[in-house]
Amino acid sequence: MRKLKCAVVGYGDRGSRYSDYALKCPDELEVVAVVDPREVRRNAAKKAFSLPDEKVFVDIDKFLNVNIDCDFVINATMDQLHYITATKLIDKGFDLLLEKPITAVPDELKDLYERSKKKGTKIVVCHVLRYTPFYSEIKNIIESGKMGKVVNLQLNEHVWYGHFVNAYVRGKWKSSKECGSGLLLAKCCHDTDLICWLNNGAKPVSVSSFGSKSLYSEKNAPEGSTEYCYDCPKKGECPFNAYDFELKHDFIPFYTWIRINKPLDEITEEEKIEYLKTDDFGKCVYRSGMDIVDRQCVSVEFDNGSIATLNMIAAGNSAGRHIHVVCEWGEIIGYVEENKLTVRYFDKKKLAFDTEIVDLNEVNKLKGNDNSVTGHYGGDHFIMKDLVRFLQGEPVSSSTTTIEDSLSGHFVVYAAERARNERRVVDIKEFE
């Protein structure tokens, strides 16, 4: 297998995580160019990959005009930029690793799919949860056929309050008007993808959904509180006070301080204090301008009668994803954070279940995988491992997520948002 060369467009959290594979596996991947509008990120990329100045770009057009020789591009731009950047890259003939969600606009999704088919380019979408040992093992169990067909899938995601506040209340995904995605698309298109992938013997046909913004609403703001925390008379009583929540606890620093435009280890406490006086991260969580929901449930009906439900709950005490798959002759239960599965096979002669506990740490060892890999429970690493093989025509896993494989999960989100807003059951055909 030859070493591939890639360029990275958008060297933020996601772009840097995917491209780190070149540092861990230098015989398989080399980063030859980086595009990012922020100087601090360009400098970080230059240092990480020993790039010369002429291989680091401020915008995508400058990169495209130079005709850099590479095998594919990692497109990790913000949600609202995916379509315009992806069309430019496809038209230039580049294969893509495209960060999820593909786009919030159904017509743009269909155009990218048709455009890539016409151009003959490959697009792999970053549904990284498919690549984790946890979910890939569930897929293997289902595909073995021992349990028969899927009857019901129940998925729950509890978003840790530190993540939710820093990404979706004060952070860059707080407004669908600004970033282009609602919460379900930005956070849970992972989960709608899993629903369709684990049950891909059937096709989703109709969707219902309910959701609202209830917790982080101005009606819940303490009486007498102000727009910014620095001058708020109630800040000593509020658990979300920015000078405690952001400065003292500093939950997700690479989100919070990015607009200071300095390496994190060079930012002083005095600079952070002043920054919080005017930046969104210093705003009251109840007056942040957030326009997305903070809880939502989705129900999906498939063409074979099977059904799936997804519950997303914001501001949980800890992050957690739970799944319960019920098949004709068995069931699979697990919390991804525990990295274990409870598998029950129905014995038709005994009319009882035989229960097996699957420890995914042990499965990893048997497969020769490194249990220490991080980032979406290892998914960030394993998608890159799969990708370099896929682009060279080598055998890959069942997790491989081409844009065609990603359509159904996106259609479910589009239908759920229409169902939530219009309070009706929505037919998937409205988008297909």
**pLDDT value at residue 378:** 87
Same domain, 148 and 105: no
**pLDDT value at residue 368:** 56
Q: What six digits make up the tokens of 380?
A: 């960030």
CATH code: domain of residue 75: 3.40.50.720
Mean pLDDT for the stretch of residues 68-83: 96
**Positive or negative CA dihedral for 190, 5, 179, 250?**
positive
**pLDDT value at residue 209:** 98
Same domain, 211 and 310: yes
Q: Which stretches of 55-159 are DSSP H helices?
A: 60-66, 82-91, 106-119, 133-143
- Give the residue from 432, 420, 407 showing the smallest Cα distance to 207: 420
- Give the residue from 170, 173, 169, 195 showing the smallest Cα distance to 182: 173
CATH code: domain of residue 357: 3.30.360.10
Using pLDDT thresholds of 50, 70 and 90, give the confidence band for residue 371. low
**How many other β-carbons are positioned within 10 Å of the β-carbon of residue 152?**
14
Same domain, 283 and 228: yes
Using pLDDT thresholds of 50, 70 and 90, give the confidence band for residue 351. confident
At residue 10's C-alpha, the angle toward residues 5 and 16, to 5°, is: 65
Please determine, for residue 275, whether its predicted confidence score (pLDDT) is greater than 80. yes
Residue that is last in its domain, among 237, 264, 287 = 287
- Give the residue from 221, 229, 222 showing the smallest Cα distance to 275: 229
In 272-402, DSSP assigns E strands to 295-302, 307-316, 320-327, 330-335, 340-347, 352-359
Same domain, 147 and 278: no
Same domain, 42 and 108: yes
**Start-to-end C-alpha separation, the chain:** 38
pLDDT tens figures, 214-263: 999 999 999 999 999 999 999 999 999 999 999 999 999 999 999 999 99
Which percentage of the chain shows pLDDT scores above 70? Answer: 97
Q: What integer best gives the mean pLDDT of the chain?
A: 94
3 state SS of 374: coil
Q: What six digits make up the tokens of 194?
A: 């899993």
Same domain, 27 and 80: yes
Same domain, 138 and 203: yes
Q: What six digits make up the tokens of 103?
A: 């786009």
**How many other β-carbons are positioned within 10 Å of the β-carbon of residue 25?**
14
Cis omega (within 30 of 0) for bond into 101: yes
Q: Is residue 155 in some structural domain?
A: yes
φ, ψ for residue 31, nearest 5 deg: -90, 120
Q: Is residue 391 in some structural domain?
A: no
Pairing between strand 72-75 and 95-98?
A: parallel
Please determine, for residue 99, whether its predicted confidence score (pLDDT) is greater than 80. yes
**pLDDT value at residue 318:** 85
Mean pLDDT for the stretch of residues 401-424: 97
Q: Is residue 388 in some structural domain?
A: no
Same domain, 208 and 223: no
Residue that is last in its domain, among 64, 96, 125 = 125
3 state SS of 314: strand
Mean pLDDT for the stretch of residues 343-367: 84
Q: Is residue 395 in some structural domain?
A: no
Residue that is last in its domain, among 90, 125, 160 = 125
**pLDDT value at residue 180:** 84
Give yes or no for a contact between 289 and 170, defined as CB atoms under 8 angstroms apart. Answer: no
Same domain, 15 and 121: yes
| pTM of structure | 0.94
- The single-letter code of the amino acid at 45 is A
Give yes or no for a contact between 226 and 288, defined as CB atoms under 8 angstroms apart. Answer: no
Q: Is residue 386 in some structural domain?
A: no
d(CA 223, CA 235): 11
Q: Is residue 390 in some structural domain?
A: no
d(CA 388, CA 11): 19
133-143 vs 183-198: helix crossing angle, rounded to 10: 40
Same domain, 208 and 350: yes
- Give the residue from 169, 148, 142 showing the smallest Cα distance to 242: 169
Q: Is residue 385 in some structural domain?
A: no
Please determine, for residue 25, whether its predicted confidence score (pLDDT) is greater than 80. yes
**pLDDT value at residue 86:** 98
Q: Is residue 10 in some structural domain?
A: yes
pLDDT tens figures, 288-307: 999 999 999 999 999 999 99
**pLDDT value at residue 364:** 67
**pLDDT value at residue 333:** 98
d(CA 111, CA 204): 21
Q: Which domain holds residue 255?
A: 219-287
Same domain, 209 and 356: yes
**pLDDT value at residue 367:** 61
How many structural domains comprise the chain? 3
Same domain, 413 and 358: yes
